[in-house]
Amino acid sequence: MKEYEEIKVTETKKVATGITCNKCGKSRKISEDGWEFGEFQSFSLSFGYGSIYDEQIWKFDICETCLVDFVNTFKYSPNIYEV
Ligand SMILES: [Zn+2]
């Protein structure tokens, strides 16, 4: 049988306090509750077997202006859905 007592645990963790567009450098603060401005999108890309970037993961954040500029270079527009 084990005996228990309550102890206070202090935890240190890393939280995002700001977000910056990797392409243009525009920055915004992130609120204390973690709410991010909707004008940024975060990407995480994992390259698979056969790619010259195999086993790499690329992470970056892009503002909507830069994202629209990028998407406008597409030959075919992305599928867009309302949620
Ligand atoms: Zn940007």
Counting other chains too, the contacts that 57-62 makes at CB distance below 8 Å and 24 or more residues apart are: 60/22, 61/19, 61/20, 61/21, 61/22, 62/21, 62/22, 62/23
For residues 76 and 57, give the distance between their C-alpha atoms in angstroms, rounded to a whole number.
Answer: 26
CA of 26 to the centre of ligand 1 (A): 6
Q: What's the pLDDT at 83?
A: 87
Q: What is the pLDDT of residue 35?
A: 63
**Which tens digit of pLDDT belongs to each residue from 64-82?**
999 999 999 999 999 999 9
**Residue 45 CA, ligand 1 centroid: distance in Å:** 18
Residue scoring higher pLDDT (34 or 77): 77
Distance 54 CA to ligand 1 centre (A): 27
Q: Structural domain boundaries of the chain?
A: 18-71
Instruction: Note the pLDDT tens digit of each residue in 5-28.
Output: 999 999 998 888 899 999 999 999
